[in-house]
Structure 1
């Protein structure tokens, strides 16, 4: 199958991931064994044509941290993962649409071993997270993008939902992954994505009970059970 994927990455990607990384959250020994070949396939293509290959390798590497053999995988395939990271960096330099940029940045973070943020940036490009209030547990939409910057507990597309504005972080006060991601987005020529990141690392409030919360904590809680993950 890897031979067919090398010849037609977009056409074979879904079938390959069904085999190597179902639902993009499960990987197997044969998945990790495919990483060196995926690195060679990516290296054989110019940056504009290797995105599908990186989108295959990224989830597999991300899954390594959930595997009992995760640490060994990163050690055994360190050279392939380093090459994939280098190839991804090349892809991030040219102008990209926000969705494509977010996907590639997630892959880059996966190859670096950066937890949480290697899973949730594509949803930021889509403009919405669905989270739970840390106090009352009500489901909340955190809208960050073209539709505005707010939280609400109802379907905001209907236009009648109560909305509470999100408060962006001060870029000058960002630290840790927030500072790094924001600076990276600006350096990569992605100012709109950088603006959205300020809201991800800002503050929100529940429209149901009024409890205030750090948006990054709520986002991290969706993708990781580790309460310390935002600072990973």
Structure 2
């Protein structure tokens, strides 16, 4: 049972969120959903304790309410880091597992905003890093250090090419080297899930981008070959709670 007297929202209130939850549980009140979103989640990855306290009730509503599904996904996407609400997340582990199944069914319906529930599903699997940084591969760039010579390498995966390069302030991306996408047989772990799910749902651009992201790149400086996703994640993955 949540002790709401200790669960403040972004305004420091402890009683407004429970009242709003009661409203949306009775009817799909658009105004109440907007206020809930403002009170529970701020930009720059900040979720207030009331957000995690509200999560079990949002997860229960998610099967019949699109706003609940979206807000629950937003909160889960910001669950990495030191927020002091580990116990609240642990208490709804089973509900989060069911939420992941719900998102998978939703993805199979091929919604117009496919990438959003796709990233929410990643967050439900505690793949917070990829949930935060994965783009639609129309114009995506990933910056990492070559593991062999430490030079900063820009990885481009988008409409303008799929390559590794050295970024020059004046000249742009120079000395480009084409990426080597992973085959379906080479993928494993979360990369395999991401690729196979995108293929299943007919998301060809997303699947191709994932194959390149989890493939290999050649450093333009030293010609060393490395796994893109592994190097990028090791340098940029957030410190988990």
For normalisation by structure 1, the TM-score amounts to 0.74
In proportion to residue count, which structure has more helix? 1
1:54 paired with 2:84, answer no
Instruction: Write the mapping of 1:108-147 to structure 2, written as runs, cut at 5 A.
Output: 108-122=121-135, 124=137, 126-147=139-160
- C-alpha distance in 2, partners of 1:19/1:125? 33
Please identify, of 75-84 and 172-181, the stretch whose mean Cα deviation from structure 2 is larger.
75-84
Distance 1:54 1:85, change over 3 A: same
Matched residue of 1:161: which SS?
Answer: strand
Query: How far does residue 217 in structure 1 lie from its aligned partner after superposition?
Result: 1.6
Unmatched 5+ stretches in structure 1: none
- C-alpha distance in 2, partners of 1:152/1:55? 36
- Residue 54 of structure 2: aligned partner: 34
Please identify, of 199-208 and 159-168, the stretch whose mean Cα deviation from structure 2 is larger.
159-168
Query: How far does residue 142 in structure 1 lie from its aligned partner after superposition?
Result: 1.1
In proportion to residue count, which structure has more strand? 2
Q: Pick one of 19, 42, 47 that aligns with 1:22.
A: 42
- C-alpha distance in 2, partners of 1:58/1:157? 40
- Residue 216 of structure 2: aligned partner: 203
Unmatched 5+ stretches in structure 2: 1-16
Q: Pick one of 67, 73, 77 that aligns with 2:88.
A: 73
Query: How far does residue 216 in structure 1 lie from its aligned partner after superposition?
Result: 0.6
Matched residue of 1:91: which SS?
Answer: helix
Query: How far does residue 84 in structure 1 lie from its aligned partner after superposition?
Result: 2.9
Larger radius of gyration: 2
Query: How far does residue 93 in structure 1 lie from its aligned partner after superposition?
Result: 1.3
- C-alpha distance in 1, partners of 2:85/2:212? 32
- C-alpha distance in 1, partners of 2:173/2:82? 44
- C-alpha distance in 2, partners of 1:17/1:157? 42
- Residue 30 of structure 2: aligned partner: 8
Q: Pick one of 137, 146, 153 that aligns with 2:166.
A: 153
Distance 1:35 1:24, change over 3 A: farther
- C-alpha distance in 2, partners of 1:61/1:208? 39
Distance 1:159 1:89, change over 3 A: same
Distance 1:83 1:173, change over 3 A: closer
- C-alpha distance in 2, partners of 1:34/1:170? 41
- C-alpha distance in 1, partners of 2:208/2:192? 12
1:184 paired with 2:197, answer yes
